[in-house]
Structure 1
């Protein structure tokens, strides 16, 4: 059975050529042992050498303008590359957050100096960003920020703790949301770009149930930042963060995290196995529907819109699908994946271990449904 997400012949001639080029590169990389496909690779599979390889090929920072070291390509071209990387389970976690949303945030809110300093390195696959939003005891309440920045002459001092910061242990930078002023809980918040390492910042690993290290606790102990670390306007942090969320919540990673598992399972499904074939068809039809929704958000973002409601819908439906995919394959599989050694067993084990987080990260689905209800 065909196990690719999109036939290489779909799209404009330029998009078809790009997809075929990326697909050939990834398949050759797998064959040569450059990486082993993993489910949920954008979250947990870190390989800085591979990130730099993608940067050399122009497949990071694709929509960053050329004057800032990017490639000035379209959002749809970036979508094609992103799909193929996810579908092949490539190790993209190191640069993912920087490319997905931090570059766009710096372009929208950064000073000219910040753009010149950070964007070229992102496009080369050499700058990796963490996001400092979540805090202990806050759940999904993003506005309950207790980490505080205070002025000290021309500099800032930051104290507090951020939690669940993905890839902070390999990050060269992070963008943090902190309280700079008093006021209503959504006011008085600001964002800062932090260079790492910083003597006032301690990064503590959080080991997940799969035994891997991709989350971190980040403690700011009177960390000193220069005045030019402020991103955008003082006190405008909430508006800036919510503007970023459409990029964070609507991309293909919100529906394709376990796709390598689906593709591997499809290779093993016997065409005469009616129940398995039926389930396979249902899963593929759902992923293609969700793909159209994600593409719709990408088009709106490319047009300069902020489709926060549509992005919330994509993440809610997409991450629910991801969990259903893993559960369906687990139910249909005749294997013991947690102790198996085949590629199929390992992908299924990855999916089982990671699936509880699908609907939590990036805003729980319960919170997203509240956003959707208010928007409707």
Structure 2
């Protein structure tokens, strides 16, 4: 679809978001897709047809294209909207369940995701594995009609509000087998034998969690896809996770606020250069991310390109914060002060996580190198 064809949808989303901001429904914030939990807002998006956009209508979706979904998510992030509640479910769990799930799983979860009433967490990272997903030690033991899961996941965003988690666990072999013997499961939450412990970040928020499986028993129907094919399934899902506009737009509300400040108060030559450079970088990353959306729309699997977008995008997010802090001379303030000062303070506190979540930059560069045949 061309930009002209997408313009009515973009205009509709912008009008909605501006009305929400003007009414006080939300205040634009940085990193809103990670920390902006607002179930009421998520439901309103579902009612408007802006969740589950690429899912088939038979499962409660909207049957639209990844490029149209890109327009909606891009505007949500640019306006700092509170989209964290539904983000993970809509971004990658719905496509993952559609691709690998049983008919029962599709009909159980996708309609709720599309309505903005069912939220998911991702059970990937572990205390001793981090971004090395092939080294996971959480184990699922086959009991015939059920599975017993033991182990620990960490940095699990939104587990405390999630209705379910897609879990990567070892069903066969040992951690030395690396990618072999891994499987995925859809685990409903809360569960009496699954403990969710909040991890409080430096800004005092607790959107991260440690999730401990105390020999938790789940039905055999919880298996997602084929046993032993978890690695391949996860790699396909990560294209959705790593390539989206959230990988370079987390701090765009800060850039927009600073631009408004300069428009009102004037800018020095150095500040104009900094603003122009940051805007150009954001535009280049946007073009890369849109290309991934197009490839997904055409049925492709742009795993390597997605890893590249995530690497460059998450680096840019942190560089943007440093550049504005240096060029503006503004003192970050968590309380009081102007909205710009508060946005800068929040951005500074969130910056350390940008190059970690979704796979560290070192891991991503390895993926890119292998994909390009570099040894």
* TM-score between both structures, scaled by the size of structure 1: 0.95
How far apart are the structure 2 equivalents of 1:248 and 1:18?
A: 23
Report if aligned partners of 1:250, 1:314 keep a CA contact under 8 Å in 2. yes
In the other structure, the counterpart of 1:236 is 229
Match of residue 369, structure 1, among 344, 347, 365: 365
Residue correspondence of structure 1 range 205-244 to structure 2 within 5 A? 205-244=198-237
Report if aligned partners of 1:338, 1:345 keep a CA contact under 8 Å in 2. yes
Report if aligned partners of 1:64, 1:71 keep a CA contact under 8 Å in 2. yes
Cα deviation, 1:258-295, whole Å, max 9, x if unaligned, reads 00000000011155511101100000011001100001
Match of residue 329, structure 1, among 317, 324, 327: 324
Report if aligned partners of 1:271, 1:277 keep a CA contact under 8 Å in 2. no
Taking a change above 3 Å as real, the CA distance of residues 140 and 272 of structure 1, as seen in their structure-2 partners, is closer
Match of residue 93, structure 2, among 98, 102, 107: 102
Moved more, 225-234 or 135-144: 135-144
Secondary structure class of the residue paired with 1:143:
helix
Cα deviation, 1:282-330, whole Å, max 9, x if unaligned, reads 0001100110000111111111111111001101111111111000111
In the other structure, the counterpart of 2:271 is 276
In the other structure, the counterpart of 1:63 is 54
How far apart are the structure 1 equivalents of 2:219 and 2:297?
A: 33
**Over the residues paired in the alignment, what is the CA RMSD in angstroms?**
1.2
In the other structure, the counterpart of 2:250 is 257
Runs (4+) off by over 3 Å: 10-14
Q: Which runs of 5+ in 1 are unaligned?
A: 1-9
Match of residue 283, structure 2, among 278, 288, 296: 288
Secondary structure class of the residue paired with 2:237:
helix
In the other structure, the counterpart of 1:148 is 139
In the other structure, the counterpart of 1:359 is 355
Secondary structure class of the residue paired with 1:150:
strand
Query: Offset of 1:140 from its aligned partner?
Result: 1.7
Query: Offset of 1:346 from its aligned partner?
Result: 1.1
Aligned length: 367
Residue correspondence of structure 1 range 1-376 to structure 2 within 5 A? 11-182=2-173, 184-269=177-262, 270-339=265-334, 340-376=336-372
Cα deviation, 1:244-263, whole Å, max 9, x if unaligned, reads 11111000000000000000
Cα deviation, 1:115-155, whole Å, max 9, x if unaligned, reads 01000000000110000000012232111111111122311
Report if aligned partners of 1:100, 1:248 keep a CA contact under 8 Å in 2. yes
How far apart are the structure 2 equivalents of 1:322 and 1:198?
A: 36
In the other structure, the counterpart of 1:5 is none
Query: Offset of 1:373 from its aligned partner?
Result: 1.4
* TM-score between both structures, scaled by the size of structure 2: 0.96
Cα deviation, 1:326-353, whole Å, max 9, x if unaligned, reads 0011112233213552110111111100
Query: Offset of 1:11 from its aligned partner?
Result: 4.7
Q: Which runs of 5+ in 2 are unaligned?
A: none
Report if aligned partners of 2:144, 2:220 keep a CA contact under 8 Å in 1. no
In the other structure, the counterpart of 1:3 is none
Secondary structure class of the residue paired with 2:307:
helix
